[in-house]
Structure 1
Amino acid sequence: MQRHRVLTTPVPLLALAVIAAALLLVPVGFVVWVAISEGWSQLSTQVFRPRVGELLANTLGLLVLAAPLCVAVGVGAAWAVERTALPGRKIWAIALASPLAMPAFVGGYGWISAVPSLQGLGGGVLIAVGAYYPLVYLPALATLRRLDPALEESARSLGLSPLATFWRVVLPQLRVAILGGGLVVALHLLAEYGAFALLRFDTFTTAIVSQFQSSFAGPAANALGVVLAALCLVLLVGEASARGRLRYARIGRGAARPAVPYRLGRAAIPVTAALSGILILAVGIPGASLLRWALRPEGWQSIHLLPALTQTLLLSGGGALAATVVALPCAWLSVRHPSRLARGIEGAMYLASSLPTIIVALALVTVTLRVVPGLYQTPATVIAAYVIVFLPRALVSLRSGLAQVPPRLEEAAQTLGRTRFAATVEVTAPLMASSFGAALALVGLGCANELTATLLLAPSGTRTLATQFWSETSNADFVAGAPYAIMLIVLSVPSVALLLADARRRSDR
Structure 2
Amino acid sequence: MTSTTDTRISIAPRHRLPAASFWTLTIAVVVALLALLPLGFVLWAAMVTGWEMASQLIFRSRVGELLANTVLLVIFTIPICAVLGVSLAWLTERSDLPGARFWSWLCVTPLAVPAFVHSYAWIGLWPGFNGLPAGVAISVVAYFPFLYLPLSAAFRLLDPALEDQAASLGLAPFAVFRRVVLPQLRLALCGGALLVGLHLLAEYGLFAMIRFDTFTTAIIDQFQSTYNGVAAYMLALVLVLCCFVLLGLEASLRGRSRYARLGSGVARRPKVARLGKWKYAALLVPAVTAAFALGIPVLTLGRWLIAGGAGVWRIDEVGLALWQTLAICMIGGIATTAAAVPIAWLSVRRPTRASRFLEGCYYLASSMPGVVVALALVTITVRTMLPLYQSVATIVLAYVVMFLPRALVSLRASIAQVPVEIEQAAASLGRSPGNALLATTIRLAAPGAAAGVALSSLGIMNELTATQMLAPNGTRTLAMAFWALTGEIDYAGAAPYAVLMVAFSLPLTFLLHHQSKKIAGR
* TM-score above 0.5: yes
Aligned-residue offset at 1:273 = 1.3
Match of 1:468 in 2: 481
Aligned equivalents of 1:401, 1:247: Cα separation in 2:
11
Work out whether residues 119 and 200 of structure 1, in 8 Å CA contact, stay in contact via their aligned partners in 2.
yes
The correspondence of residues 31-70 of structure 1 with structure 2, limited to 5 A, is: 31-70=42-81
Match of 1:152 in 2: 163
The correspondence of residues 291-440 of structure 1 with structure 2, limited to 5 A, is: 291-295=302-306, 296-301=309-314, 303-324=316-337, 326-327=339-340, 345=358, 348-394=361-407, 440=453
Aligned-residue offset at 1:280 = 0.6
Aligned equivalents of 1:280, 1:407: Cα separation in 2:
48
The correspondence of residues 214-253 of structure 1 with structure 2, limited to 5 A, is: 214-216=225-227, 218-246=229-257
Aligned equivalents of 2:285, 2:142: Cα separation in 1:
17
Residue 271 of structure 2: SS of its match in structure 1? coil
Match of 2:190 in 1: 179
Which TM-score applies when normalising by structure 1?
0.85
Work out whether residues 319 and 444 of structure 1, in 8 Å CA contact, stay in contact via their aligned partners in 2.
yes
Comparing 458-467 and 156-165, the one that deviates more: 156-165
Aligned equivalents of 1:240, 1:309: Cα separation in 2:
39
Work out whether residues 368 and 376 of structure 1, in 8 Å CA contact, stay in contact via their aligned partners in 2.
yes
Work out whether residues 46 and 230 of structure 2, in 8 Å CA contact, stay in contact via their aligned partners in 1.
no
Work out whether residues 114 and 286 of structure 1, in 8 Å CA contact, stay in contact via their aligned partners in 2.
no
Cα 1:77–1:15 shift into 2, 3 Å: closer
Work out whether residues 229 and 356 of structure 1, in 8 Å CA contact, stay in contact via their aligned partners in 2.
no
Aligned equivalents of 1:391, 1:371: Cα separation in 2:
25
Work out whether residues 191 and 358 of structure 1, in 8 Å CA contact, stay in contact via their aligned partners in 2.
no
Comparing 148-157 and 108-117, the one that deviates more: 148-157
Could you tell me which of 478, 488, 492 is aligned with 2:505? 492
Work out whether residues 180 and 239 of structure 1, in 8 Å CA contact, stay in contact via their aligned partners in 2.
yes
Aligned-residue offset at 1:408 = 8.6
Work out whether residues 198 and 474 of structure 1, in 8 Å CA contact, stay in contact via their aligned partners in 2.
no
Cα 1:459–1:95 shift into 2, 3 Å: same
Comparing 105-114 and 243-252, the one that deviates more: 243-252
Work out whether residues 97 and 275 of structure 2, in 8 Å CA contact, stay in contact via their aligned partners in 1.
yes
Residue 277 of structure 1: SS of its match in structure 2? helix
Residue 97 of structure 1: SS of its match in structure 2? helix
Aligned equivalents of 1:13, 1:174: Cα separation in 2:
28
Find out whether 1:188 has 2:199 as its counterpart.
yes
Aligned equivalents of 2:22, 2:379: Cα separation in 1:
32
Aligned equivalents of 1:137, 1:483: Cα separation in 2:
29
Cα 1:94–1:441 shift into 2, 3 Å: closer
Cα 1:411–1:254 shift into 2, 3 Å: closer
Find out whether 1:72 has 2:83 as its counterpart.
yes
Cα 1:3–1:235 shift into 2, 3 Å: same
Find out whether 1:115 has 2:126 as its counterpart.
yes
Aligned-residue offset at 1:423 = 12
Find out whether 1:281 has 2:292 as its counterpart.
yes
Work out whether residues 146 and 508 of structure 1, in 8 Å CA contact, stay in contact via their aligned partners in 2.
no
Aligned equivalents of 1:177, 1:398: Cα separation in 2:
12
Aligned equivalents of 1:146, 1:427: Cα separation in 2:
19
Find out whether 1:142 has 2:153 as its counterpart.
yes
Structure 1 counterpart of 2:295, one-letter code: G
Match of 1:210 in 2: 221
Residue 201 of structure 1: SS of its match in structure 2? coil
Work out whether residues 71 and 136 of structure 1, in 8 Å CA contact, stay in contact via their aligned partners in 2.
yes
The Cα offsets for residues 230-249 of structure 1, whole Å up to 9 and x where unpaired, read as 10011101211233345567
Aligned equivalents of 1:331, 1:246: Cα separation in 2:
16
Comparing 14-23 and 476-485, the one that deviates more: 14-23
The Cα offsets for residues 113-155 of structure 1, whole Å up to 9 and x where unpaired, read as 1221211111111110001111111111112222222333344
Could you tell me which of 37, 40, 44 is aligned with 1:26? 37
Cα 1:497–1:238 shift into 2, 3 Å: same
Residue 262 of structure 1: SS of its match in structure 2? coil
Aligned equivalents of 1:424, 1:163: Cα separation in 2:
40
Aligned-residue offset at 1:299 = 1.8
Could you tell me which of 137, 142, 146 is aligned with 1:131? 142
Work out whether residues 119 and 210 of structure 2, in 8 Å CA contact, stay in contact via their aligned partners in 1.
yes
Cα 1:411–1:361 shift into 2, 3 Å: farther
Work out whether residues 167 and 176 of structure 2, in 8 Å CA contact, stay in contact via their aligned partners in 1.
yes
Work out whether residues 293 and 482 of structure 1, in 8 Å CA contact, stay in contact via their aligned partners in 2.
yes
Cα 1:365–1:89 shift into 2, 3 Å: same
Work out whether residues 6 and 339 of structure 1, in 8 Å CA contact, stay in contact via their aligned partners in 2.
no
Aligned equivalents of 1:171, 1:342: Cα separation in 2:
26
Residue 6 of structure 1: SS of its match in structure 2? coil
Work out whether residues 157 and 266 of structure 2, in 8 Å CA contact, stay in contact via their aligned partners in 1.
no
Aligned equivalents of 2:208, 2:500: Cα separation in 1:
21
Find out whether 1:447 has 2:466 as its counterpart.
no
Cα 1:87–1:9 shift into 2, 3 Å: closer
Aligned equivalents of 2:478, 2:13: Cα separation in 1:
48
The Cα offsets for residues 251-297 of structure 1, whole Å up to 9 and x where unpaired, read as 88896222222221222232111221111111111222112223432
Aligned equivalents of 1:262, 1:120: Cα separation in 2:
40
Cα 1:411–1:467 shift into 2, 3 Å: farther
Q: CA RMSD in A?
A: 3.8
Residue 320 of structure 1: SS of its match in structure 2? helix
Find out whether 1:502 has 2:515 as its counterpart.
yes
Specify every segment of 5 or more residues in structure 2 that has no aligned partner in the other structure, as ranges. Answer: 1-11
Cα 1:2–1:332 shift into 2, 3 Å: farther
Comparing 262-271 and 393-402, the one that deviates more: 393-402
Residue 462 of structure 1: SS of its match in structure 2? coil
Residue 50 of structure 2: SS of its match in structure 1? helix
Cα 1:321–1:366 shift into 2, 3 Å: same
Could you tell me which of 493, 510, 515 is aligned with 1:480? 493
Which TM-score applies when normalising by structure 2?
0.83
Work out whether residues 445 and 491 of structure 1, in 8 Å CA contact, stay in contact via their aligned partners in 2.
no
Work out whether residues 187 and 356 of structure 1, in 8 Å CA contact, stay in contact via their aligned partners in 2.
no
Aligned equivalents of 1:14, 1:240: Cα separation in 2:
20
Work out whether residues 162 and 262 of structure 1, in 8 Å CA contact, stay in contact via their aligned partners in 2.
no
Work out whether residues 445 and 495 of structure 1, in 8 Å CA contact, stay in contact via their aligned partners in 2.
yes
Comparing 83-92 and 214-223, the one that deviates more: 214-223
Alignment length, in residue pairs? 505
Comparing 137-146 and 320-329, the one that deviates more: 320-329
Comparing 32-41 and 388-397, the one that deviates more: 388-397
